[in-house]
């Protein structure tokens, strides 16, 4: 497996008026092609910061980070990833199809190419028939699906998702999780997925990165041996529960380590 | 039908109530303010024991009242619009057109200037620091002090140095005052509007490696549209004020401002008031026109119906 993302002793310190905040400290991580990697940990553990660093939205202050073997900036200029934010961030003055077209317009795709890709990706996220709707006419779950379609519309092999389903209710979230797995299987993309939820992380991932705060660091990396084909009721199986228990243990260890310091 | 009646009640009844109240207060004030002159007229004519109703009717029908009654103004407006050919200097429509053309030209110039300044300020920190204080300071100078300067100097430059004929030169001088008043709300509103996109909307553009001009046209500009229209409504009203002020101190012969000034020279209060009424109707029409354009643009941009 070739490394899509490779971090070596990666550190990031924010300088604020109240002093330095260490968001990431000594992070070592390899993400291979086609993996589904979840980042889990409490608030302030640096999981979103790490994702933003891969996306060249934050600059590391120490160590090295490569994306597709290049610097994050070059990778961004090559448009090698799609980013899904916590909120849909759809432009309210654009219809759903025009929102999906936004990156295509910016990247200079021709009109027929745009139409073909819009149709294909909206179909992929089950939003066919909603092309002409404006974002406010859609539910929160549908808006987030539209934003995923937007991230899939161009040919990026890497999908960075920052708690995309965090604001949605449990039922919608379950549904979107299983759809996301199908989508991953259909496209073969590498996905980095930030979450607060242990079941979500275990259900989705081939690799789970457990992180802990102050300073933000990786405490455990768990390779999941669950089959790639995952019905929703896999979450009741002993294998699933064993992995979930190990994640929970990792989170607890990170937390107790912290208590002395606070 | 039921719904229609209801929407009439909720929409127009409050407005109507206020209008009726104003008219009543106006009539009452006309009695008080014209009483002194009316009593003078009676004394000179040796008229005594005038019944109160007669006295009231007399205060409402003087030739040069201190405060003309609403129906006197209404009749004067009617006579000066519907009863005269609109190309005659007697016609208020003629004067309204003269003022409107300066307002419109000044509004376009001021809005473009305001948008241009906002674009510079949002994209350049040095511009932000250096321009903003001057923009604010420009509005602290009383326009009444500045208007004669602009009109006289502007007019001389346009006709003398540049060689423009007098009529367009006069129009341009007035339009500059309109622009001076209207660029300010547009500049301030657009700075806010162009900065209104959220951090994640800008981050999204960054992940696409969008160029600054793509960020502007695909994000900042459409995001600023609600702010733009709010500013334009203030700006168009300010433009009208600017055009009228530009007609006041300069011996202009045409325009609502000239009409106001002529009325005050000859104590033609009814003429002053009718010019004021026409000016306010023009202002209402201009703001409404901006509102209509706003509605159309909002619909095209998929705004949620209110």
Residues of A in contact with B214 (CB under 8 A): 106
Task: Please report the pLDDT score of residue B148 as a whole number.
Answer: 84
Q: Count the alpha carbons within 13 Å of A260 in the hemisphere toward its beta carbon.
A: 4
B202 plus B138 within the same structural domain: yes
Alpha carbons A58 and B108: distance in angstroms, whole number: 42
> How close is the nearest chain A Cα to the Cα of B223, in Å?
8
B96 plus B30 within the same structural domain: no
B164 plus B293 within the same structural domain: yes
Q: Tell me, what CATH number does B242's domain have?
A: 1.10.3720.10
Alpha carbons A90 and A99: distance in angstroms, whole number: 6
Q: Domain for residue B70, yes or no?
A: no
B48 plus B135 within the same structural domain: no
B109 plus B178 within the same structural domain: yes
Neighbours of A6 (CB within 10 A): 18
Q: What is the pLDDT of residues B48-89, one digit of tens each?
A: 888 999 999 999 999 889 999 999 999 999 998 888 888 888
Task: Please report the pLDDT score of residue B250 as a whole number.
Answer: 64
B30 plus B164 within the same structural domain: no
B138 plus B275 within the same structural domain: yes
Q: What is the DSSP string of A144-199?
A: HHHHHHHHHSS--SEEEEESTTTTS-HHHHHHHHHHHHHHHHHH--EEEEEES-HH
B9 plus B49 within the same structural domain: yes
Q: Domain for residue B78, yes or no?
A: no
Neighbours of B127 (CB within 10 A): 14
B57 plus B105 within the same structural domain: no
Q: What is the pLDDT of residues A56-91, one digit of tens each?
A: 999 999 999 999 989 999 999 999 999 999 999 999
Closest residue to A83, CB basis, from B207, B218, B304: B207
Task: Name beta bridge partners: A212.
Answer: A217
Nearest CA in chain A to B221: A93
Q: Domain for residue B210, yes or no?
A: yes
Nearest CA in chain A to B203: A57
CB–CB contact A91 B302 (8 Å): no
> Residue B186: which of B281, B255, B271, B117 has the closest Cα?
B117
Exposed (0-12), middle (13-18) or buried (19+): which is B93, by Cβ within 10 Å? middle
B113 plus B238 within the same structural domain: yes
Dihedral pair phi/psi, residue A205, rounded to 5°: -95, 155
Residues of B in contact with A56 (CB under 8 A): 206-207
Average pLDDT of every residue of chain B: 90
> Residue A56: which of A44, A69, A36, A71 has the closest Cα?
A71
Q: Domain for residue B76, yes or no?
A: no
Exposed (0-12), middle (13-18) or buried (19+): which is A221, by Cβ within 10 Å? middle
B127 plus B204 within the same structural domain: yes
Q: What is the DSSP letter of A3?
A: E
Nearest CA in chain B to A87: B200
**Mutant choice from A49, A67, A70, A93 vs B, greatest count of B C-beta within 10 A:** A93
Q: Which residues contact A260 (CB under 8 A, 6 or more apart)?
A: none
CB–CB contact B207 A92 (8 Å): no
Residues of B in contact with A102 (CB under 8 A): 208, 218
Closest residue to B302, CB basis, from A56, A82, A93: A93
Residue range(s) defining the domain that contains residue B37: 2-62
**Mutant choice from A51, A102, A149 vs B, greatest count of B C-beta within 10 A:** A102
Task: Please report the pLDDT score of residue A260 as a whole number.
Answer: 44
> How close is the nearest chain A Cα to the Cα of B229, in Å?
15
Check CB contact of B212 with chain A, cutoff 8 Å. Answer: no
CA of residue B43 relative to chain centroid, distance: 43
Dihedral pair phi/psi, residue A65, rounded to 5°: -140, 130
Q: Domain for residue B43, yes or no?
A: yes
Count of domains for chain B: 2
CB–CB contact B222 A103 (8 Å): no
Mean pLDDT, 10 residues at a time, over chain A (262 residues)?
A: 85 88 89 93 89 93 92 92 92 95 94 94 90 93 92 90 88 87 90 92 93 88 87 88 91 63 42
**Mutant choice from B201, B205, B207 vs A, greatest count of A C-beta within 10 A:** B207
Domain ranges of chain A: 3-80+158-259, 90-155
Q: What CATH number belongs to A3-80+158-259?
A: 3.40.50.300
B168 plus B32 within the same structural domain: no
Q: What is the pLDDT of residues B215-270, one digit of tens each?
A: 999 999 999 999 999 999 999 999 999 999 988 876 667 889 988 888 888 888 99
Alpha carbons A15 and A21: distance in angstroms, whole number: 6
């Amino acid at each position: 497996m070739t490394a899509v993302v490779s971090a070596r002793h990666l550190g990031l310190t924010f300088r604020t008026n109240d002093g330095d905040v260490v968001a990431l400290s000594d992070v070592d991580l390899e993400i291979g092609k086609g993996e589904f990697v979840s980042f889990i940990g409490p608030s302030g553990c640096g999981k979103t910061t790490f994702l933003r660093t891969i996306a060249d939205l934050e600059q590391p202050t120490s160590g090295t980070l490569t994306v597709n073997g290049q610097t994050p900036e070059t990778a961004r200029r090559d448009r090698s990833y799609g980013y899904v934010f916590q909120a849909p961030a759809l432009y309210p003055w654009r219809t759903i199809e025009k929102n999906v077209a936004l990156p295509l317009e910016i990247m200079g795709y021709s009109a027929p190419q745009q139409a073909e890709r819009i149709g294909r990706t909206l179909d992929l996220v089950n939003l066919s028939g909603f092309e002409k709707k404006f974002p406010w006419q859609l539910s929160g779950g549908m808006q987030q699906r539209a934003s995923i379609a937007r991230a899939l519309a161009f040919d990026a092999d890497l999908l960075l998702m920052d708690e995309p389903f965090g604001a949605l209710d449990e039922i919608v979230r379950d549904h979107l999780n299983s759809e996301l797995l199908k989508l991953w299987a259909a496209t073969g993309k590498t996905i980095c997925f930030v979450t607060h939820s242990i079941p979500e992380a275990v259900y989705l991932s081939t690799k789970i990165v457990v992180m802990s705060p102050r300073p933000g660091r990786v405490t455990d990396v768990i390779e999941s041996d669950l089959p790639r084909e995952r019905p929703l009721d896999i979450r009741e199986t002993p294998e699933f529960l064993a992995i979930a228990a190990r994640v929970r243990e990792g989170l607890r260890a990170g937390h107790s380590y912290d208590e002395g310091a606070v | 039908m039921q719904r229609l009646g209801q929407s009439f009640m909720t929409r127009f009844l409050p407005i109507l109530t206020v209008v009726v109240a104003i008219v009543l207060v106006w009539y009452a004030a006309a009695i008080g303010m014209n009483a002194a002159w009316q009593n003078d007229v009676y004394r000179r004519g040796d008229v005594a024991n005038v019944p109160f109703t007669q006295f009231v009717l007399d205060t409402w029908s003087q030739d040069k009242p201190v405060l003309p009654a609403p129906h006197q103004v209404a009749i004067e407006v009617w006579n000066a619009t519907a009863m005269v050919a609109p190309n005659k200097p007697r016609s208020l429509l003629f004067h309204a057109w003269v003022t409107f053309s300066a307002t419109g030209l000044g509004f376009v110039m001021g809005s473009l200037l305001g948008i241009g300044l906002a674009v510079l300020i949002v994209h350049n920190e040095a511009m932000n620091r250096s321009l903003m204080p001057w923009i604010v300071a420009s509005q602290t100078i009383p326009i009444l002090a500045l208007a004669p300067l602009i009109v006289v100097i502007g007019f001389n430059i346009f006709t003398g140095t540049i060689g423009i004929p007098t009529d367009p030169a006069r129009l341009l001088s007035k339009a500059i005052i309109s622009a001076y008043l209207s660029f300010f709300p547009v500049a301030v509103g657009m700075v806010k509007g162009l900065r209104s996109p959220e951090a994640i909307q800008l981050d999204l553009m960054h992940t696409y490696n969008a160029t600054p001009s793509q960020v502007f046209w695909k994000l900042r500009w459409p995001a600023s549209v609600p702010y733009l229209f709010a500013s334009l409504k203030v700006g168009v009203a300010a433009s009208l004020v600017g055009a009228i002020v530009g007609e006041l101190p300069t011996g202009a012969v045409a325009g609502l401002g000239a009409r106001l000034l002529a009325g005050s020279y000859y104590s033609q209060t009814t003429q002053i008031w009718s010019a004021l009424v026409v000016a306010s109707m023009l202002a209402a029409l201009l703001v409404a026109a901006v509102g209509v354009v706003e509605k159309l643009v909002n619909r095209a941009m998929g705004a949620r119906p209110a």
